[in-house]
Amino acid sequence: MIRENEYKQRRDCLLNKLSNNSIAIVFSATNKTRSNDTQYPYRQDSSLYYLTGFKEDNSALVLIKYKNKTKSILFVQKKDKNLELWTGKRLGIKKAKQKFKIDEIYESENLKSKLKEFLKDKKSLYCDLNSGHKKIKKVLQYAKSIENHKNISLLVGQMRLIKSENEIKLIKKAIGITANAHHYAMSSKKIGKKEYELQAEIEYIFKRSGAFSDAYTSIIACGNSANTLHYINNNKILVNNELILIDAGCEYDYYASDITRTIPVNGKFSEAQAEIYQLVLDTQIEIIKNIKPGVNRTKLQSLAELLLTRGMVKLGILHGSVKKLIKNNVHKKYYPHGIGHWMGIDVHDQAPYLDNKEKEIPLASGMVLTIEPGLYINKDDKRVPKKYRGIGIRIEDDILVTKYGNKNLSSAIVKRINEIEKLSQV
Concatenated DSSP letters of 131-165: S--HHHHHHHHHTTT-SEEEEHHHHHHHHHTSPPH
pLDDT the model gives residue 23: 94
pLDDT the model gives residue 137: 72
pLDDT the model gives residue 133: 67
Integer CA distances (angstroms), 124 to 132, 151, 295, 373, in order: 19, 11, 35, 43
Given a contact cutoff of 8 angstroms between Cβ atoms, the answer to whether 409 and 399 are in contact is yes
The catalytic site residues sit at 37, 230, 247, 258, 337, 341, 348, 372, 376, 394, 396
Structural domains of the chain, with CATH: 4-160 (3.40.350.10), 165-424 (3.90.230.10)
pLDDT the model gives residue 426: 52
Query: Which portions of the chain are predicted below pLDDT 70?
Result: 131-133, 425-426
pLDDT the model gives residue 104: 97
pLDDT the model gives residue 400: 98
List, in sequence order, every residue forming a beta bridge with 24; answer none if it has no partner.
63, 126
Integer CA distances (angstroms), 245 to 179, 186, 202, in order: 15, 11, 13
Q: How many CA atoms lie within 13 A of 286 on its CB side?
A: 17
Given a contact cutoff of 8 angstroms between Cβ atoms, the answer to whether 259 and 274 are in contact is no
Q: What angle do CA 167, 125, 355 make, to 5 degrees?
A: 50
Amino acid type, 314: K
Given a contact cutoff of 8 angstroms between Cβ atoms, the answer to whether 380 and 398 are in contact is no
Q: Which of 114, 102, 175, 121 is nearest to 139 (CA)?
A: 114
Q: Whole-angstrom Cα distance, residue 27 to residue 14?
A: 15
